[in-house]
Amino acid sequence: MAAVLNRVRSTPRSCREGRLPDLLSRSSWPPARALRFREAARRPQPAFRQCRHEPGFKPIFLGTVDPRSEMAGFRRVANSQKCVRAGGRHNDLEDVGRDLSHHTFFEMLGNWAFGGEYFKEEACSMAWELLTQVYGIPEDRLWVSYFNGDSKTGLDPDLETRDIWLSLGVPASRVLSFGLQENFWEMGDTGPCGPCTEIHYDLAGGVGSPQLVELWNLVFMQHYREADGSLQLLPQRHVDTGMGLERLVAVLQGKRSTYDTDLFSPLLDAIHRSCGVPPYSGRVGAADEGRIDTAYRVVADHIRTLSVCIADGVSPGMSGAPLVLRRILRRAVRYSTEVLQAPPGFLGNLVPVVVETLGAAYPELQKNSVKIASLVSEDEAAFLASLQRGRRIIDRSVKRLGPSDLFPAEVAWSLSLSGNLGIPLDLVELMLEERGVMLDTAGLEKLAQKEAQHRAQQADADQEEGLCLDVHALEELHRQGIPPTDDSPKYNYSLCPNGDYEFGLCEARVLQLYSETGTAVTSVGAGQRCGLLLDRTNFYAEQGGQASDRGYLVRTGQQDVLFPVARAQVCGGFILHEAKAPECLQVGDRVQLYVDKAWRMGCMVKHTATHLLSWALRQTLGPTTEQRGSHLNPERLRFDVTTQAPLTTEQLRTVESYVQEAVGQDKPVYMEEVPLAHTAHIPGLRSLDEVYPDPVRVVSVGVPVAHALAPASQAAMQTSVELCCGTHLLSTGAVGDLVIIGDRQLVKGITRLLAITGEQAQQAREVGQSLSQEVEAASERLSRGSGDLPEAHRLSKDIGRLTEVAESAVIPQWQRQELQATLKMLQRRANTAIRKLEISQATEKSQELLKRHSEGPLIVDTVSAESLSVLVKVVRQLCKQAPSMSVLLLSPQPTGSVLCACQVAQGATPTFTAEAWALAVCSHMGGKAWGSRVVAQGTGHTADLEAALGTARAYALNQL
């Protein structure tokens, strides 16, 4: 069966005319085309895509697909895709382990028909043919369901599908109807959706009551859910089907459970060998004593999910998909350690088994096997350490609770995935339940709501509001025969001999206008915000990480009235310009477009710098280094890159030096459009996980494109050669300089870099140099030493100030790391010097006090001390030299406050505590105190020190 499975998993291809392709045979697949289909079906992070509306094909449903891309020509497609259901609308995480069929990761086999290429009748008949004739599944074990309508939304029953199944010979008794929840597919709150028909398999086989498990879901995309909840018909109809490979294999192998198939048996065997628990026996519910079989299923499922996701570039992290993966890993650790009693490093040792079972179908697993095992093992160890810390915190907090007190929500939150330690809240509740303590769930709910509101506000702040063309507007443009916008003039610029760039004028005609609400109009009036669709444009629409152009347009012949253009967006090949009309503008008007030169130049500089940075990182970190995203505007650029560990100071310096060298050589930048097929096998050619148009634009630094793409060329290994549709400099010199000003790990294995260029970069270097000189001066002051405590405190404060400046200043990151290390060392030395001076001063003052108080059980007095730290040291020195004495000292300060410190003698009565003594005196002075039974301190305000001292003596004598 293993060989069959690998064929079933194979890369997507277009369907043969008139029937579903035989997924068990791929001998006739055209390899190059199959590869491109696979890439189309796997973007951007295939493991974290849900089963429907995957981002690879969603642009087709919405009409936003680039008409120049290969995907625009897709009509029939069959594919296999990785799916994870562990968050959002479709979430199976909590069901995994409890039954025999649910998984967080599974492989989805699908066939697709776009634009009405075929619809219900063909989809149903081909599915029935494949299951019953190709796979040989008995017809009498298959049941089907269809949508029975919904009166609230006005949706009619899908009687057409019902009749199709009846015509195929399915008995009416096995054709069932259900409502919105069961037979109307929606991926999210908005977007493409439609009625679906499901094919179910009867596990009982006619013995007793049917036991149905869903096998295949056929979705008929014909509606669009708007933001207000209403449903609109899509302009074109599509078919999107999905059949889980795991369930299909169970049926073909005659198993009642997916976990009993050879997809899982190697993992279950490996778990048994490692943990010493009884073999897996498939028990569920109350029969699963000790939850051992549940743990088997959880661990087997979760390690597959972890391996596949990490191989696709998603690592456990703190938000979004990485946070979901972090939760999955912690759930696996819980079950493996608490139920299976697994040894440390257990999960990481299961990764090779996953690679062995799935690696032939997914080479990325083999390529990243060491990285996957390392990440899993590290996170497993970190979570176990957090679990130990969490138990200590819980024990400490429980001791402080009264008999009926609830466990504080704030403490539970700090332990959780949303807080500091990353312990799932359900585990926190379980740990409290074991101690007989109830959690403040109401308080926890408030904290969760507050966190959700905070994230929503952040999301709203990050999300720019803008006009856009929806699926209906795009279909109307196609109906009218309006061609996609010609945006080739965006590349119409040249470099003048004096080093300036000249941007060509673009004349265009207004084809369509849209109001602020997105409604198509024939004209807009003065003061209106509107969207303009032109036949051609020289504006760069935001895409590929590059910010949109800004600028203005004027009506031809009326140069004194400017229509400001805030941004441009691309949608289905159309460029929509967002503008504000100072006067009336009508469809058919002729206009001239002018890009904001400074803004465009800033973007061009940053985009070329991004390519140089990507090349420099590969040179420094190795050829397997991959870009994981970028965004740039004239102010700065952001670049996400795969890394084995955070970049070191030396690596950051090296990356900058590579870029500086390329900039200093003022290398020419070549750009040329070439057929996409010519770029398929060029060593070192950089391309992101995106759908590129055909032909595609290639950007090459220092080497002509034709030479870089020559079959035997190694140019792309030695310089920057990338597929890119952005706008670039024509030579690298205008970058001026590049400085990396920040780096942080987004998740394990991915680092985000922030960089600036040109004058900003030079200023950053100057600020860094100035700050470095200040740090050096502080080091010299410290080396000279000081016998004066106030001077030592001033120096310590100056070092602290420099530390804060080094943290926030815009300087090279490598220099920041160097300065922070130096300042940390200087701060330690300064603190040591202060401590020595304080001890010396305390020794001197304690000797003076001992001369005045040579007898008696108490020393209650005043002494001059510059800080509470010095005062506590004086008290400790006194008690060290006179162990039988209890000491309380007050120290009036120039600010009017009074410091208090005390220590109780070792032989004092149990009722006499330092904390209570200090509290009695400081309360008298209107202040507060804190400490322990032996040593305490506090502050207060009083003009009558003698009265305070009297209170101190009276309290102590009463206790003694």
Annotated binding site for Zn(2+): 607, 611, 724, 728
User: Which residues lie closer than 8 Å to 462 by C-beta, 6 or more apart?
Assistant: none
How far apart (Å, rounded) are the C-alpha atoms in residues 761 and 756? 6
- Alpha-carbon span 739 to 613, nearest angstrom: 10
Q: Who's near 9: CB < 8 A, 6+ residues apart? A: 80, 107, 245, 361
At 748, phi and psi to the nearest 5? -60, 120
> Comparing C-alpha atoms, which of 725, 735, 733, 734 is closest to residue 491?
725
Name the residue among 715, 671, 678 with its Cα closest to residue 695: 678
For 503-548, the DSSP string reads E--EEEEEEEEE-TTS-EESEE-TTEEEEEEESB--PPPBBTTBPP
Q: Are 51 and 85 in contact (CB under 8 A)?
A: yes
- Contacts with 729 (C-beta within 8 Å, 6 or more apart), sequence order: 604, 605, 608, 669, 735
DSSP 119-184: -HHHHHHHHHHIIIIIS---GGGEEEEEE--BTTTTBPP-HHHHHHHHHTT--GGGEEEE-HHHHE
CA 536 distance to own-chain centroid: 37
Nearest to 809 by CA among 823, 799, 819: 819
Strands 528-534 and 574-581 come out as antiparallel
**Helix 813-852 × helix 649-664 angle, to 10°:** 140
**Three-class SS of 582-616:** CCCEECCCEEEEEECHHHHHHHHHHHHHHHHHHHH
Q: Residue for token digits 């997924």?
A: 23
Backbone φ and ψ for 917, nearest 5 degrees, come out as: -65, -50
Contacts of 230 (CB under 8 A, 6+ apart): none
d(CA 768, CA 814): 10
What type of residue sits at position 207?
A: V
* Cα 91 from chain centre: 18
State the DSSP code for 486. B
Integer distance in angstroms from the first to the last C-alpha of the chain?
A: 86
The three-class DSSP label of residue 13 is strand
| DSSP-derived 3-state class of residue 368 | coil
Count of helices and strands (H, E) across the chain: 27, 33
Question: Is omega for the bond preceding 44 within 30 degrees of 0, making it cis?
Answer: yes
Where would I find the H helices in 809-906? 813-852, 868-881
> Which residue positions form the known binding site?
607, 611, 724, 728
Distance of CA 810 to the CA centre of its chain: 25
Maximum distance among all alpha carbons in the chain?
111
Chain-centroid distance, C-alpha 141: 43
Q: Distance between CA atoms of 830 and 809, rounded to whole angstroms?
A: 23
| Bridging pattern class, strands 721-723 and 696-701 | antiparallel
Token digits of residue 499: 């080093």
Between CA 110 and CA 137 the distance in angstroms is: 18
